[in-house]
Structure 1
Amino acid sequence: MAPTKPKKDMDDDMLEGAALSAGKTLEKAGVFKALLQPSAKALGDYWGKRTQQWVEGLNERRAKNVSQHMTKVKAVAKLSPPDVAPTERQFTSLLEWTSEAQTIDPEAEPELSALWQALLADILRNDPYADEMRVVLQEMTRADAQAFLTMEYMTGAQSSRSISHSPRADQVPVSPTSAALKDGGL
Structure 2
Amino acid sequence: MSQTLEEIASQPRLWRRALEVDASPLPRDGESLAVVGCGTSWFVAQAYTTAREREGKGPGDAFTATEFPWDRHYDRVICLSRSGTTTEVVDVLRRLAERGTPGLLVTAVGGGPASSFASTEVVLGFADEESVVQTRFATTALAYFRASLGHDIATAAADAELALDAELPQRWVDADQIAFLGTGWTIGLANEAGLKLREASQSWTEAYPAM
Tell me which interval the TM-score lies in, with the shorter structure as reference length: under 0.3
**Greater strand share, 1 or 2?**
2
Greater helix share, 1 or 2?
Answer: 1
What is the TM-score when the length of structure 1 is the normalising length?
0.27
* TM-score normalised to structure 2 length: 0.24
